[in-house]
Amino acid sequence: MLKKSNAGALSSGDDIEYQLVLHAIKLKYGHNFDDYAQKSLKRRLESHVEKYAFENLTDMIKPIVQDEVFFENLLNTVSVPVTEMFRDPLFFKTLREKVLPLLKTYPSVNIWHAGCATGEEVYSMAIMLKEEGLYENCNIYATDFNANSLKSAQDGILSYSRMQKYTENYYLAGGKRSFSDYYQSHEDGILMSKDLMQNVTFAKHNLASDSVFGQFHLILCRNVLIYFGKSLQEKVFSLFSDSIFPLGYLCLGSHESLHYSLALTRYEAVFDKYKIYRKKQ
């Protein structure tokens, strides 16, 4: 198990092992975790050490380099795809009532879900767009750096045990129909309607290392940046600024903000309570 100091932090020897693990990942797969929030990342690597009963962090280097399945499982641990349908319902209600009517004025709309995890937010957006008569004019891009999460998102199979919570969220977010209209029973839970995915493109994209790939009227990146260090946050904000049309919108998570970022000068906080920002003209 990991040896810790009396203060509970990783010892200097363990810190060297930690850096070696990150370096191995970068060399083999190109994933750069140097600027991630270090305490959070270390905790997740520690949990993987415990899960596989390794003696120390460096015991992971060989399977990381030689076993891609092991590495994908490690990514699942590190990326923590925590999400839900209509998470923070009042955010979605504000988006529905205040932002979508403005997007309706465009002949076509490009939307990017950055760090889409297992896709619950993508399905939530698609449902709202359908109900507001905007879906057919939208191109939706859903990206994540975790291939397993992307596959789950594309499969559209969700846990039945979460449906009561999701249904409550849907109605609090201004849902206009029966939520059950959007899914059907499946042997592994429930299957979201394929109609919701007709205008959605899923793709692998790493916010930490990849560049601009399009121009968007709306970008949602919610509860992703809390895992990034300050310098990486600034890099991602710059990426978003270069990807958003003038007067386009950027939506962040409830514990994220532009207020302490250099990028703030490029935006106005139109619905600051719900972390909805509009890029200046």
Under 8 Å between Cβ of 68 and 29: no
Taking the C-alpha atoms of residue 278 and residue 271, their distance in angstroms, rounded to an integer, is 9
What pLDDT, on the 0 to 100 scale, is given for residue 58? 92
Domain presence at residue 204? yes
138-144 and 276-279 as β-strands: parallel, antiparallel, unpaired?
unpaired
One domain for residues 93 and 75:
no
Question: Is residue 152 situated within a structural domain?
Answer: yes
Domain that holds residue 154: 89-279
Q: Do 102 and 232 lie in a common domain? A: yes
Same domain, 120 and 221: yes
| Residue 129 and residue 70 share a domain | no
Residues 99, 161, single domain; the answer is yes
Q: Tell which of 61, 79, 97 closes a domain.
A: 79
Residue 185's DSSP bridge partners are: 190
Does 170 fall in a domain? yes
| Domain count across the chain | 2
**pTM of the predicted protein model:** 0.84
Which pLDDT belongs to residue 80?
62
pLDDT given for residue 12 in this prediction: 61
Residue 70 lies in a domain: yes
Say which residue the tokens 């990514």 belong to.
Answer: 75
CATH of the domain at 241: 3.40.50.150
Question: pLDDT 10s digit of each residue in the chain, 281 long?
Answer: 444 433 344 456 678 888 999 999 888 887 778 777 788 888 889 888 998 999 999 999 999 999 988 988 888 777 766 689 999 999 999 999 999 999 999 999 999 999 999 999 999 999 999 999 999 999 999 999 888 889 999 999 999 999 999 999 999 999 999 999 999 999 989 999 999 999 999 999 999 889 999 999 999 999 888 888 888 899 999 999 999 999 999 999 998 999 889 999 999 999 999 999 999 99
Please tell me whether residue 266 adopts helix, strand or coil conformation: helix
In a domain, residue 4? The reply is: no
